[in-house]
Amino acid sequence: MNFELTQDHKVLQDTLRDFVKNEIAPIAADIDKNHEIPADLVKKIGEMGFLGTYIPEEYGGAGLDYFSYIMTVEEVSKACASTGVMISAHTSLAADPILQFGNEEQKKKYLPPLATGERIGCIMLTEPEAGSDVANISTTYRDEGDHYVVNGSKIFITNGAFRGISVLFATKDKNLKHKGLSAFILDLESEGVEILKNEEKLGIRGSYTTAFALDNVKIPKENLLGNEGDGFKIAMETLNGGRIGIAAQALGIAEGAFEKCLSYVQERKQFGKPLAAFQAIQFKLADMATRIEASKLITYKAAWLKDMKKTNAIESAMAKMYASETATFVTKEAVQIHGGYGYICEYEVERMFRDAKITEIYEGTNEVQRIVISKMLLK
């Protein structure tokens, strides 16, 4: 069992850290304040190949492995969770299902612009009454001969306001539950696709979270992903990968906050001594570091299993659950260690504290992850 990064992964890690230090970290606070990731930064991320890490070179991607993508989300999220989730949702929730379930024509048409960042991807799954309960999706589609027509609404769509490429889920008949679901590739600039609003959020404020109305949206027949009725299977497999991406984001947030704490406790003095000299602080650091290391191991294992094309549903749920709770724990402790300074915006742990909470909620709340894990254990 080898826990060492390969030479290629070490090179990628160094490249990522340099890019994050020079391009993302200096503007992370502005991204949060302005509720927007600058277009020129998105372009640079695309040019670096970070939006197409494991997309094969023949489709315009970097041709790396899945672990390289996880490392990318982790390193970016250390400085800016909004940018990290933009990359995560784009890659694992839009590009991945097209790569895994699309036919050759679909891959050649949609993967290159996604891989380069020319178009930003998203998944249109969540509705006002159907999020984790995928079988109760009420957005409908009907067959009109040479195209489908879709009507309904979607909410909480990460990356939605980029109006890029979406993987959309709709039902032929709600009474059929999961058996009626199909997946489609939808260009969000299509007629009938209307943005209702972008949500104001507690954290990850630079990430678009968008509500849509779909009014008689025409989707060409060739944009059906897989076969009719495959939607539930595609959604479940996509969410498995999405959970690993969220785990990587949470891991990065926790690591970023921990690194800020290590510097702070060695510089900040109280009662004539650095904070690091106090046992109460040392205990906190030990707990934070241990949880981060455990989160890293389970997240990396889940990514390795996906790279090996092995079943990873239980590991991805465990990684998402544990890493997200670690991010919340670590950032809470980071604010506590910083004292009053941790509560003001000048110190980055305040933003990281706000950003961490969402990782416990999206891609299924952690209560859902516990259900997934327990059901598989009881099999």
Strand pairing class (147-158; 140-143): antiparallel
Q: In the predicted model, what is the mean pLDDT of the chain?
A: 97
**From 47, 104, 363, 367, active-site residue:** 363
What is the reported pLDDT for 131? 81
Q: For the chain, how are helix, strand and coil distributed in percent, rounded to 5?
A: 60, 15, 25
Catalytic residue flag (residue 363): yes
What is the reported pLDDT for 133? 87
CATH architecture entry for 232-378: Up-down Bundle (1.20)
- Exposed, middle or buried by CB within 10 Å (0-12, 13-18, 19+), for 11? exposed
Contact 171, 140 (CB under 8 A): yes
Span 259-275, pLDDT tens digits: 999 999 999 999 999 99
In degrees rounded to 5, what are phi and psi of residue 9? -70, -35
CA 351 and chain centroid, separation: 18
List per-residue pLDDT tens for the chain, 379 residues long.
Answer: 789 999 999 999 999 999 999 999 999 999 999 999 999 999 999 999 999 999 999 999 999 999 999 999 999 999 999 999 999 999 999 999 999 999 999 999 999 999 999 999 999 999 998 887 899 999 999 999 999 999 999 999 999 999 999 999 999 999 999 999 999 999 999 999 999 999 999 999 999 999 999 999 999 999 999 999 999 999 999 999 999 999 999 999 999 999 999 999 999 999 999 999 999 999 999 999 999 999 999 999 999 999 999 999 999 999 999 999 999 999 999 999 999 999 999 999 999 999 999 999 988 899 999 999 999 999 8
CATH architecture entry for 7-119: Orthogonal Bundle (1.10)
Give the chain's largest Cα–Cα span.
79
Angle 326-160-147 (CA atoms, 0-180°, nearest 5)? 130
Span 149-201, pLDDT tens digits: 999 999 999 999 999 999 999 999 999 999 999 999 999 999 999 999 999 99
SS3 148: strand
Q: Whole-prediction pTM value?
A: 0.97
Q: Where are the domains of the chain?
A: 7-119, 122-229, 232-378
In degrees rounded to 5, what are phi and psi of residue 122? -155, 170
Dihedral sign, CA of 180, 186, 190, 193?
positive
Span 362-373, pLDDT tens digits: 888 999 999 999
- Amino acid, single-letter form, for residue 145: G
- Amino acid, single-letter form, for residue 271: F
**Domain 122-229 coded CATH 1.10.1060.10:** no
**Which of 135, 241, 125 lies closest to 183, judged by CA?**
125
Which residues 6+ apart lie within 8 Å of 66 measured at CB?
53, 54, 303, 306, 307
